[in-house]
Amino acid sequence: MNENSVDYTEKIIELYKLLWEDFHEIASVQFRKYKFTAPQSMTIRQLYSTPYITLKELSERLSLSKGTVSGIVDRLENQGIVIREIPKDNRRTVRLSLSPEFIEDVDFIYIKKGYLSNIFKDTNLKDIEKIIYGLEKFHSILASNIKSYHSNENEKQE
């Protein structure tokens, strides 16, 4: 790796971090319209994308302690937003999901996509096409490298 590659790598990591923070901030603003705190909105977004997750899995995905996540889930359950389910085949496990009523009431499609449509409404089509091309190319590079990482990992285990 030459010196320029290191500069590009640092810039890509910095931009990825900034974009991730921007997406979270925009989503948090959208959820504040529903009177949710940032940790509650993170919990709701995670439960929306991965229903029937366990408390342990949820706390790992949110990078929060199990006790903190448990408190958030308790408050959301009391509001009728979260449902705790205990599977009959494993009584020690508790699965978490969003209530059907909540999913019906909250426009997740707008929260996930609407703000981007609104942001891009005054953006030049050529710029949007460049963004899409760059993101697709970045995904392609990452995906091809993931395959090689898995191959190398399998070789090391043998």
Q: Are residues 147 and 107 in the same domain?
A: no
pLDDT of residue 37: 83
What is the chain's mean pLDDT, rounded? Answer: 84
Q: Are residues 86 and 45 in the same domain?
A: yes
Q: Which of 7, 29, 10, 6 is nearest to 110 (CA)?
A: 29
pLDDT of residue 45: 85
Q: Are residues 129 and 118 in the same domain?
A: no
Q: Are residues 140 and 153 in the same domain?
A: yes
Q: Are residues 15 and 55 in the same domain?
A: yes
How sure is the predictor about 60, in pLDDT bands with cuts at 50, 70 and 90? very high
Is the per-residue pLDDT at 79 higher than 90? Answer: yes
Domain count, the chain: 2
Q: Are residues 81 and 154 in the same domain?
A: no
User: How far, in Å, CA of 58 to CA of 143, rounded?
Assistant: 25
How sure is the predictor about 6, in pLDDT bands with cuts at 50, 70 and 90? confident
Is the per-residue pLDDT at 86 higher than 60? Answer: yes
Q: Are residues 127 and 111 in the same domain?
A: no
Domain span including residue 85: 3-122
How sure is the predictor about 120, in pLDDT bands with cuts at 50, 70 and 90? confident
Q: Are residues 83 and 138 in the same domain?
A: no
Q: Are residues 18 and 50 in the same domain?
A: yes
- For 133-156, how does the pLDDT look when each residue is reduced to its tens digit (9 = 90+)? 999 999 999 898 887 776 766 666
Q: Are residues 115 and 135 in the same domain?
A: no
Report CA-CA distances (Å) from 40 to 18, 44, 75, 92. 22, 6, 9, 25
CATH code for position 47: 1.10.10.10
User: How far, in Å, CA of 135 to CA of 130, rounded?
Assistant: 9
- For 31-54, how does the pLDDT look when each residue is reduced to its tens digit (9 = 90+)? 777 788 878 888 998 998 899 999
Is the per-residue pLDDT at 1 higher than 60? Answer: no
Q: Are residues 94 and 141 in the same domain?
A: no
Q: Are residues 100 and 132 in the same domain?
A: no
Sheet of strand 53-54, all strands in order from the earlier edge strand to the far edge: 53-54, 95-98, 82-85
Instruction: Decide: 31 and 111 in contact? Cβ < 8 Å.
Output: yes
Is the per-residue pLDDT at 112 higher than 70? Answer: no
